[in-house]
């Protein structure tokens, strides 16, 4: 991985050597997110995309309040998926007009909080629409809604499919016209459509195809009143490379496609802004997980480096969060960068389960107890997506540097 510089054999995170950063943090394991890299990612993306495309941060990728606070300043809106995330976004200073709330199974209390916060609700069922009617009346606030559509296509080549076929997400296309009528009849404030086909896609042409199909679907659904569509959220799904052989996502074709969609939208849906909501792509590469080697063991010729953290803090890196075949995340010894002598070593966490594996038979510098193992590409779906209580080890901490 090249996004973090090195100096004197040490990885630099936020301009500090890893060993000193570990002292500053006061404990291992920890996640560290680099502010400069977060800023750079958003700036590069805005540079690559046509103007007028609105960028949202889907904060479930990394809900650390300090990260959300920074992202709220950099992007045009925050996407939340629970009232808990909504609180973090509002506390972070995000503008409620630019917050949207998606997710199946919103509790009634969450809907009330969202209406009272005046955020946009991506409704996912008739139940939500009915509840919102009553909540709107009780609070004297017209709920702002967009319809999350379960399209009749899938995002090809995506790690996790979240649209197409039968899904718990969104409303089947076939049902949307009736829902739009209900939204009108109930006095809800209709603002547009939300389509999210899937996640972790590295194939630009598949993303373009999904965006185009999403656009055309929204156009068909809006046929009777295209001027009502203010927000057209085409999802995201931009992936980052984790494994050997994976190529970075090529933004150029996506930019061309969005430019053509933006031009079409100016004619077809004159009030609409095109929104992209990205989680992993914005934050994933800016973060590292750092864990200290407690023990170096050799068993029948195989070297094991046993660390003070593992799948309890970083389930994704262990391969147990959405991977079908386990592959190694990029791992390094952060205080032995550039060491010439390599050996094959297996990095495991302290948990009593063979699933607690951070690197399986990787070529690494010869490491000892006290050294710092770094897992790259750890800014998304790390701490908050891991079973911290599993086996009762200390939790990890997070810093934004
Ligand atoms: C999870 C999610 C995202 C973010 O997905 P990434 O793959 O992290 O970009 C965006 N929108 C919705 C609706 C989601 O559920």
61 is a domain residue: no
Secondary structure class of 125 (helix, strand, coil): coil
Of 251, 278, 305, the last residue of a domain is: 278
Of ligand 1's atoms, which has the minimum distance to the CA of residue 102?
13
pLDDT tens-digit series, residues 236-269: 999 999 999 999 999 999 999 999 999 999 999 9
Q: CB neighbours (10 Å) of residue 215?
A: 25
Please name the residue whose Cα sits nearest to atom 6 of ligand 1: 279
∠ CA 26-88-59, nearest 5°, is: 90
**Whether residue 49 has its Cβ less than 6 Å from ligand 1:** no
Q: Looking at the structure, do residues 132 and 232 belong to the same domain, yes or no?
A: yes
Give which of 306, 312, 313 is closest to 287, Cα–Cα: 313
In the reported structure, the alpha carbon of residue 160 is separated from the centroid of ligand 1 by a whole-number distance in angstroms of: 10
Of 278, 298, 317, the last residue of a domain is: 278
If residue 280 lies in a helix (H) or strand (E), which one and from where to where?
helix 280-283
What pLDDT sits at residue 224?
Answer: 84
Of ligand 1's atoms, which has the minimum distance to the CA of residue 198?
7
Q: Quick one: how far is CA 62 from the chain centroid?
A: 7
315 is a domain residue: yes
Q: Looking at the structure, do residues 106 and 180 belong to the same domain, yes or no?
A: yes
What pLDDT sits at residue 159?
Answer: 66
**Whether residue 78 has its Cβ less than 6 Å from ligand 1:** no
Average pLDDT of the chain to the nearest whole number: 96
In the reported structure, the alpha carbon of residue 101 is separated from the centroid of ligand 1 by a whole-number distance in angstroms of: 12
In the reported structure, the alpha carbon of residue 370 is separated from the centroid of ligand 1 by a whole-number distance in angstroms of: 37
CATH number reported for the structural domain that contains residue 290 in this entry: 2.40.37.10
pLDDT tens-digit series, residues 110-123: 999 999 999 999 99
Cβ–Cβ < 8 Å for 314, 380? no
Of 253, 278, 303, the last residue of a domain is: 278
CATH number reported for the structural domain that contains residue 196 in this entry: 3.20.20.10
383 is a domain residue: yes
Q: Looking at the structure, do residues 139 and 23 belong to the same domain, yes or no?
A: no
Q: Looking at the structure, do residues 270 and 352 belong to the same domain, yes or no?
A: no
44 is a domain residue: no
77 is a domain residue: no
> Could you list the active site residues?
352
**Whether residue 337 has its Cβ less than 6 Å from ligand 1:** no
First-to-last C-alpha distance (Å) of the chain: 18
Q: Looking at the structure, do residues 258 and 116 belong to the same domain, yes or no?
A: yes
Q: Looking at the structure, do residues 212 and 228 belong to the same domain, yes or no?
A: yes
Alpha helices in 140-192 (DSSP H): 176-185
Of ligand 1's atoms, which has the minimum distance to the CA of residue 277?
10
16 is a domain residue: yes
Mutate to test the pocket of ligand 1, among 55, 78, 79 (most ligand atoms within 8 A of CB): 79
Q: Looking at the structure, do residues 163 and 261 belong to the same domain, yes or no?
A: yes
Please name the residue whose Cα sits nearest to atom 5 of ligand 1: 279
pLDDT at 1 over 90: no
In terms of residue numbers, what domain contains 321? 6-32+286-400
Q: Looking at the structure, do residues 263 and 331 belong to the same domain, yes or no?
A: no
Q: Domain count for the chain, please give it.
A: 2
Q: Looking at the structure, do residues 246 and 297 belong to the same domain, yes or no?
A: no
């Amino acid at each position: 991985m090249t996004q973090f510089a090195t100096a004197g054999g040490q990885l630099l995170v936020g301009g500090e050597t890893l060993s000193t950063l570990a002292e500053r943090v006061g404990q291992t394991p920890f996640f560290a997110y680099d502010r400069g890299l977060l800023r750079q990612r958003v700036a590069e993306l805005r540079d690559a995309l046509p103007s007028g495309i609105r960028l949202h941060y889907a904060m479930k990728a990394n809900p650390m309040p300090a990260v959300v606070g920074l992202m709220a300043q950099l992007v045009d809106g925050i996407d939340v998926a629970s009232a808990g995330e909504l609180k973090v976004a509002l506390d972070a200073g995000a503008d409620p007009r630019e917050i949207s709330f998606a997710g199946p199974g919103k509790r009634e209390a969450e809907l009330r909080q969202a209406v009272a916060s005046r955020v946009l609700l991506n409704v996912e069922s008739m139940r939500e629409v009915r509840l919102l009617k009553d909540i709107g009346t009780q609070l004297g606030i017209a709920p702002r809604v967009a319809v999350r559509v379960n399209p009749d296509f899938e995002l090809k080549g995506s790690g996790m499919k979240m649209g197409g076929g039968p899904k718990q997400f969104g409303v089947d296309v076939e049902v949307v016209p009736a829902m739009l009528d209900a939204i009108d009849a109930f006095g809800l404030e209709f603002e547009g459509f939300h389509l999210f086909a899937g996640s972790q896609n590295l194939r630009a042409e598949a993303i373009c195809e999904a965006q185009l199909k999403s656009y055309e679907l929204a156009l068909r659904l809006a046929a009777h009143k295209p001027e009502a569509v203010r927000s057209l959220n085409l999802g995201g799904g931009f992936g980052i490379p984790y494994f050997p052989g994976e190529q970075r996502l090529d933004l150029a074709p996506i930019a061309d496609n969005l430019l053509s969609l933006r031009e079409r939208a100016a004619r077809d849906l004159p009030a609409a802004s095109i929104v992209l909501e990205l989680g992993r792509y914005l934050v994933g590469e800016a973060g590292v997980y750092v864990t200290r080697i407690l023990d170096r063991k050799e068993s029948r010729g195989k070297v094991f480096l046993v660390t003070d953290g593992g799948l309890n803090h970083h389930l994704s890196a262990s391969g147990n969060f959405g991977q079908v075949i386990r592959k190694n995340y990029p791992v390094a010894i952060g205080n032995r960068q550039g060491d010439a002598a390599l050996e094959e070593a297996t990095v495991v966490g302290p948990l009593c389960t063979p699933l607690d594996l951070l690197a399986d038979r990787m070529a690494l510098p010869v490491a000892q107890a006290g050294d710092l193992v770094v897992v790259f590409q750890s800014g998304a779906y790390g701490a908050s997506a891991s079973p911290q209580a599993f086996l009762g080890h200390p939790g990890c901490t997070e810093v934004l540097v």
